[in-house]
Amino acid sequence: MPDAEQVLWKELRKYGLGRRFRRQFPIPPYIVDFACVEARLIVEADGGQHARPGDHELRDRELRRQGWRILRFWNNEIPANPQGVLRTIAEAVGRPRERSPHINPPPLAGEGVSTEEA
């Protein structure tokens, strides 16, 4: 894993963003650097080998056709501005969906019906 990907993975795991990210995630026929399945978001770290125009057009078109959104960051951008990169990713994933309240929630710790007479 290139250094920039290691930095980004460490930050995604540490920061969490309230979502689960997977590394080297297969989306046939491709393998993406990072993916948040719940948010249908792909995060790619690109080096100089991807600098030519059109390098990702076919791949991105197919992934978008499958319902994915894609964020790309240059390898030098990730260690230089990790908080800015994470902020962009956080905005893209949004807030996790609020869980619907449980119909009969369990009592909080220390609460509930006592079996002892007072």
In a domain, 71, yes or no: yes
Instruction: Quote the number of domains for the chain.
Output: 1
Q: Confirm whether 110 is domain-assigned.
A: no
pLDDT 10s digits, 13-22: 876 788 899 9
4-37 burial, b for 16+ CB within 10 Å, e for fewer? bbebbbebbeeeebebebebeeeeeeeebbbbbe
Domain annotation covers residue 43: yes
Q: What tokens appear for 84 in the block?
A: 């800015």
For 94-104, what is each residue's pLDDT tens digit?
Answer: 865 444 344 44
The enclosing domain of 49 has a CATH number of 3.40.960.10
Report yes or no on 102 lying in a domain.
no
Domain region containing 33:
3-93
pLDDT (0 to 100) of residue 11: 84
Q: Is 33's pLDDT higher than 70?
A: yes
Residue 7 resides in a domain: yes
User: Quick check: is 117 in a domain?
Assistant: no
Residue 113 lies in a domain: no
Does 41 reside within a domain? yes
